[in-house]
Amino acid sequence: MSESKRLPREREQAVTVEVDGSPVVCFAGETIATALLADGVAKFATRAGEPRQPLCNMGTCFDCSVVVDDRPLTRACLTPVADGMRISTGQGD
């Protein structure tokens, strides 16, 4: 029988980020996209007035764009969370 190839289940240290003014607890090492999806955020950004969520999860589509610490167009799927980070969703055209 082969050895298990599952990823470890231990999570890193808990950190708190601010999402649209509310605190959200997540874990160091996670991306912003992971933290937002785990928190039930349904709209990361808008494009042509339509709500967007992560699509490619590899940095090419920008459907996961959020504002992080006043930096627009931050790709949530590529950016790790950091304690105290301020995240704004729902931005776009």
How far is Cα 21 from Cα 13, in angstroms, rounded to an integer?
22
CB of 25 or CB of 78, closer to ligand FES: 78
CB of 17 or CB of 65, closer to ligand FES: 65
Helix (H, G, I), strand (E, B) or coil at 81: coil
The encoded tokens of residue 73 equal 């167009």
CB of 10 or CB of 81, closer to ligand FES: 81
> Minimum Å distance from CB 33 to ligand FES?
7
How far is Cα 47 from Cα 24, in angstroms, rounded to an integer?
25
How far is Cα 87 from Cα 52, in angstroms, rounded to an integer?
16
> Minimum Å distance from CB 66 to ligand FES?
10
> Minimum Å distance from CB 60 to ligand FES?
6
Contact of 67 with 49, CB cutoff 8 Å:
no
Point out which residues bind ligand FES (CB under 6 A). 54-57, 59-64, 75, 77
